[in-house]
Structure 1
Amino acid sequence: MGNILCDGSPIESDPRYRFQGRQWETSMMDAPCNNCKGCFLAMFCPCCFAYHLRVLALEGRMENYSCCQGYLCPTCTSKCIPGQDSCPEFCLCLEVTLCENFAISSTRFYIQDQRQIMTDPCDNRIIRFNNCVQILSFVCHILAIFFRELRHLAHLLDLFADLVYCMVQACMQAQTHHELTLHPTAVDYGQAPRTITQQPTASDKAPLMGHQAPPAYSE
């Protein structure tokens, strides 16, 4: 379990580990110190801040918007979510409200792919720790359905999982905001990074930040 929580190794299908020559301006671990304002806004207004960052990432060109920018089930979302072309602002509002964690991760993926930023192993450790906590809370809630004595533990784990998620998403959004503040567009870096032979696709992903809602128990 410890190896899973602390593992920063790449996923074999993640091409972002093959990006060369450009790193994040700040890691997720250092983002609260390097971007206090962004971390504060993300902590207390996560949905609004996620909307703002997606608009900044798209450089205000909402005609380039798609649900989760095509990183999550692009075939399904393109057919099941109408209005992406005619009213992208409304669709983005729904995305950051109903699928906040996926919206935040998608913006970060988009920035990373557009600017060819290498994946930080420490960032992966933080995201994986969050995902493990969410899974542990979810499993405990399932067990609590059958064993009533576990319900108090499930609620405590759920509270801990929510706190971890709030901190991780704030660090992730602060990191993305810091990058966009220092370099509003991909051409603002000066020297172009070395390119890779294979461009990322929707199926090539680093860990997504997860978050689960607890079930309601029947007495």
Structure 2
Amino acid sequence: MACCCLDGSPVSQEEVGKSKANQRYGDYIDNPNKFDVNMCHSCTKSPLCCCFGGLPIVSVCSAIKLRHKVLNHVNPGSGWENYTCCQSKFGGCCCIQPGSMGEQNFPAGYMACEACCCAGMAISATRIEMMEEHRLSVDACDNRIIRFNNCLQCAVCVARIVDCIINNDTTEYIENVLECIASIVFCSVSGCMTAQVDHEVNLRDKAKSVSPTTQGMER
């Protein structure tokens, strides 16, 4: 069982049924393929994409561009036709039900709102779309990075609650420090994830374009 924020093991079968998020990632445990590069090394493959994906404000444009790129990689020439909020990867909540909120009327606008308001879910949904399309499994390094980021975000929430209750200079200072660290880590993880997905799309698109030529030469 993954009880450490730096544990690289995949979600166990026991954990799969505990939450929708675990169920989502549990679907990829036995996938035979892997990303060409993990998140630890993705910045070396696509450094500019990593920077754009991790910088505040710029990352919004990067998330929009990457989603459009992945959607058209999966269904060439489809534009925004197959867009739904978070690609329906995380279910809905109350009146927010992906696919039934009029996304097709203004998909780019909805995607912009998604990237601004739910930055982490936006890039994760794009990554999951690629994982589903090419049956990509999760990587131990990726698991460690994502879990470490999630633990930091939880720590910030706890620090905020403690500060609201105790409300003194010490708790406020701790909260500010944790929030600063968590923000830096989140931006770094977003950049690495963006670079990983972008590299994978480019690699597979290149393979598609080369394949017919290779077959022709063999004949």
Q: TM-score range by the shorter chain?
A: 0.7 to 0.9
- Classify 1:188/1:4 alpha carbon distance in 2 versus 1 (closer, same or farther; 3 Å): farther
Of residues 156, 162, 183 in structure 2, which corresponds to 1:162?
183
The reply on whether 1:175 has 2:196 as its aligned counterpart is yes
**Residue 7 (structure 1) aligns with:** 7
- Classify 1:30/1:103 alpha carbon distance in 2 versus 1 (closer, same or farther; 3 Å): same
Paired residues in the alignment total 188
Task: For structure 1, list consecutive stretches of 5 or more residues without a partner in the other structure.
Answer: 191-219
- Deviation of the 1:80 alpha carbon: 9.0
**Residue 119 (structure 1) aligns with:** 138
- Classify 1:79/1:174 alpha carbon distance in 2 versus 1 (closer, same or farther; 3 Å): closer
> Contact 2:159 / 2:171 at 8 angstroms: preserved in 1?
yes
Q: Give the secondary structure class of the aligned counterpart of 1:10.
A: coil
Q: Give the secondary structure class of the aligned counterpart of 2:114.
A: helix
Give the Cα–Cα distance (whole angstroms) in 1 for the partners of residues 133 and 98 of structure 2.
25
Deviations 1:173-217 (A, max 9, x none): 110111111113996797xxxxxxxxxxxxxxxxxxxxxxxxxxx
Give the Cα–Cα distance (whole angstroms) in 1 for the partners of residues 178 and 189 of structure 2.
16
**Residue 95 (structure 1) aligns with:** 114
**Residue 23 (structure 1) aligns with:** 34
Deviations 1:160-181 (A, max 9, x none): 1101111111111110111111
Q: Give the secondary structure class of the aligned counterpart of 2:4.
A: helix
Q: Amino acid of the residue matched to residue 19 of structure 1? A: N
Higher RCO (Cα < 8 Å, 6 or more apart) = 1
Give the Cα–Cα distance (whole angstroms) in 2 for the partners of residues 144 and 41 of structure 1.
33
The reply on whether 1:54 has 2:75 as its aligned counterpart is no
Q: Amino acid of the residue matched to residue 161 of structure 1? A: A
**Residue 128 (structure 1) aligns with:** 147
**Residue 214 (structure 2) aligns with:** none
**Residue 38 (structure 1) aligns with:** 49
Give the Cα–Cα distance (whole angstroms) in 1 for the partners of residues 136 and 111 of structure 2.
24
TM-score (norm 1): 0.79
TM-score (norm 2): 0.79
> Contact 2:51 / 2:191 at 8 angstroms: preserved in 1?
yes
- Deviation of the 1:5 alpha carbon: 1.5
- Deviation of the 1:98 alpha carbon: 1.1
Q: Amino acid of the residue matched to residue 177 of structure 1? A: D
Q: Give the secondary structure class of the aligned counterpart of 1:58.
A: helix
RMSD, aligned α-carbons: 2.3
Q: Give the secondary structure class of the aligned counterpart of 2:81.
A: helix
Deviations 1:81-105 (A, max 9, x none): 6321222111111111111111010
Point out the structure with max Rg over C-alpha.
2
